[in-house]
Amino acid sequence: MTAHDDDRLLVDAVEAGASGFLSKDDAAEAVLAAVKSAADGEVLIDPATLARLLPQVTREREQQRDALALLGDLTDREREILTLLAQGMRNDDIATQLYISPQTVQTHVRNILGKLRVHSKLEAVAFAVRHGAITV
């Protein structure tokens, strides 16, 4: 039950296993009927709401699939460097920690940016976090 009409919340609820939505303004009889229907396995999503949400869900799934493909192109070393960038480390510090030259780190960073199709280290970290590749 919700008082919100936010599509993102509705999508999140469905992905979490919700079988329908009810407004807090619905009558008690409607709520009881909906609970019984949900218990019987029925899906209680208004067709108009469903029609509005499906394109968004489809688009988000495609974006996630594309992002995972880009992240999958990173080498183990590039992932390691991306994780260190997410920890706030500078190129020189990464070079010291990994026993490689700063130029090598710079090359890896350039490759990461190209593979992820972003323009900065911050964008790369945000992209990886948003798509679950790293945590901060």
Q: How confident is the model at residue 34 (pLDDT cuts 50, 70, 90)?
A: confident
| Residue 76 forms part of a structural domain | yes
| Residue 104 forms part of a structural domain | yes
With a pLDDT cut of 90, the percent of the chain lying above it is 54
86 and 37 in a common domain:
no
pLDDT at 112: 98
User: Contact, 20 vs 39, CB < 8 A?
Assistant: no
pLDDT digits (tens, 9 = 90+) for 59-105: 888 999 999 999 999 999 999 999 999 999 999 999 999 999 999 99
Residue ranges in 1-136 assigned as alpha helix (H): 7-15, 28-39, 47-72, 76-86, 91-98, 102-116, 121-130
| Residue 90 forms part of a structural domain | yes
Write the single-letter amino acid at 89. Answer: M
**Structurally, how many domains does the chain consist of?**
2
111 and 72 in a common domain:
yes
78 and 120 in a common domain:
yes
Write the single-letter amino acid at 79. Answer: R
| Residue 54 forms part of a structural domain | no
Q: Which domain holds residue 31?
A: 7-45
82 and 34 in a common domain:
no
76 and 29 in a common domain:
no
| Residue 110 forms part of a structural domain | yes
| Residue 91 forms part of a structural domain | yes
Question: Residue 1: is its pLDDT beyond 60?
Answer: no
CA angle 67, 58, 56 (to 5 degrees): 105
| CATH value at residue 88 | 1.10.10.10
pLDDT at 10: 78
pLDDT digits (tens, 9 = 90+) for 124-136: 999 999 999 998 8
| Residue 93 forms part of a structural domain | yes
